[in-house]
Amino acid sequence: MADSACSSCSQSGSCSDTEKQQCEQEHAKKKMADNLALIKHKILVMSGKGGVGKSSTAANLALALAETGAKVGLMDIDLHGPSIPTLLGLEGQHPPVEDDSMVPVERNGLKVMSIGFLVANADDALIWRGPVKAGVIQQFIKDVKWGELDYLVVDCPPGTGDEPLSIVQMLGENSGAVLVTTPQKVALVDVRKSVTFCHQVKLPVFGIVENMSGFVCPKCNEVVDIFKKGGGQKMAADMTVPFLGQVPIDPRMVDAGDNGTPVVESAADSPTAIALKEVAQELMLRCINPGGGTADLAE
C-alpha cells in the first residue's frame, strides 16, 4: 500500500521528487514506529534447517500464549512457503482493508497475517529478490492494524538470509528468538548457525525447542524414544543459551496441521500439547527477563 503523506501535505506542490521521497520515507518510519510501540514483546521463531516443525511450533505457541488471555498476533514471513493459513484452517481468507491498512485475519482472538492471504492462487511461486521481500515484511508491520499486542510471534523461513535479517532490523528492541531443532546432528549443525546469527545481530535467544523428541504412542500416550533425544538440550548447554523444552512426535500433530486444528486445541491433553504449553509458559518468563541467568540455562 502506498503512503499518502505527500498528497496531504500543504507544500506538496512545490516539493521536488527527492523531497517527496524523503517525506514518504519519514512517514513510513513513523507509521511503523507507532505500530511497534503498541507491541510489548516480539518473538521470532527461527531455524537454520527446514523440516524441523518450525511453523507448527510457531502456530501452536501463538495459540498457547493466547489461551493465557494475552493479546497475540502471528506474522508469517515465510514468503516462499507460507504454511500458517493451512495450519490454522484459514486458507482462502483475505484481510479486509480499513483506513488504508490491512486488518489481520482473526481466529479465536489470534490475529494472523500471511502472504498466503494475498496471493490469487496458492500454487503460484513468488520469485522475489531481497529488496522486494524486505518491502513486503515492512508492509506487514507498517500497513497492518495489529493494535495493542502482548506478543507478536513471527514465523520466519529456514536459514539466516534476507527475511530473518530484515525482520530483526525492523522490529528493534523487545525482540528475541526461539530456535527450533530436532535432536539429530544434521539439524543441530544448521541450528548452531542460527545461534551465531542471533549473537551477531544482537538478538537475544529466548531459548531452544527440541522438536520431534521421542514418539507419543497414539494408543496409550506413552512417550517412547525411538529416535535420538537430547541433542537440542546438549547444544543449548554447549552454546550457553536457554533450553525451553522437548516436544515429542505425535501422529495427531500431522492430522491437526492438515485439518487446520493445531494440537494444543484438538488434543489439548496430549503429551505434545502439554509440552508446547509448558514451552509457552517458559517463553513468557523469558520475554520478561530475556537475559536470564546461568542457573536456569540448559542443564
Model confidence band, residue 10 (pLDDT cutoffs 50, 70, 90): low
Per cent of the chain over pLDDT 90 is: 65
What average pLDDT does range 54-83 have in this prediction?
97
Q: What share of the chain is helix, strand, coil (3-state, %, to 5)?
A: 45, 20, 35
Listed residue (229, 216, 225, 232) closest to 270, CA to CA:
216
Q: Provide the pLDDT for residue 16.
A: 75
CA distances from 74 to 46, 54, 64, 232 (A): 14, 13, 12, 25
Q: Which residue has the cell 485439518?
A: 259
Q: Kindly tell me if the per-residue pLDDT of 245 is higher than 60.
A: yes
Cβ(212)–Cβ(250) under 8 Å? no
Cell numbers of 238, please? 554447549
What average pLDDT does range 21-42 have in this prediction?
90
DSSP-derived secondary structure for 42-89: EEEEE-SSTTSSHHHHHHHHHHHHHHTT--EEEEE--TTS--HHHHTT
Q: Provide the pLDDT for residue 223.
A: 79
What is the spatial distance between Cα 150 and Cα 11, in angstroms, rounded to a whole number? Answer: 39
The dihedral region occupied by 202, where left means phi > 0, alpha psi between -120 and 50, and beta the remainder, is left
Q: What is the dihedral of CA 166, 171, 177, 180, to 10 degrees?
A: -50
Summarize pLDDT for 177-227 with one digit per residue, the tens.
999 999 888 889 999 999 999 999 999 999 999 999 888 777 787 777 766
Q: Count other Cβ atoms within 10 Å, centred on residue 13.
A: 7
Which residue ranges form the domains of the chain, and what is each CATH number? 25-296 (3.40.50.300)
Identity at 135, one-letter amino acid code: G
Q: Provide the pLDDT for residue 295.
A: 37
Q: Kindly tell me if the per-residue pLDDT of 23 is higher than 60.
A: yes
What is the spatial distance between Cα 60 and Cα 90, in angstroms, rounded to a whole number? Answer: 15
Q: What is the pTM of this model?
A: 0.88
Q: Provide the pLDDT for residue 127.
A: 85
Q: Kindly tell me if the per-residue pLDDT of 298 is higher than 50.
A: no
Stronger pLDDT, 70 or 120, i.e. the higher one: 70
Q: Kindly tell me if the per-residue pLDDT of 31 is higher than 90.
A: yes
The one-character DSSP state at 160 is S
Q: Kindly tell me if the per-residue pLDDT of 105 is higher than 70.
A: yes
Q: Count other Cβ atoms within 10 Å, centred on residue 121.
A: 6
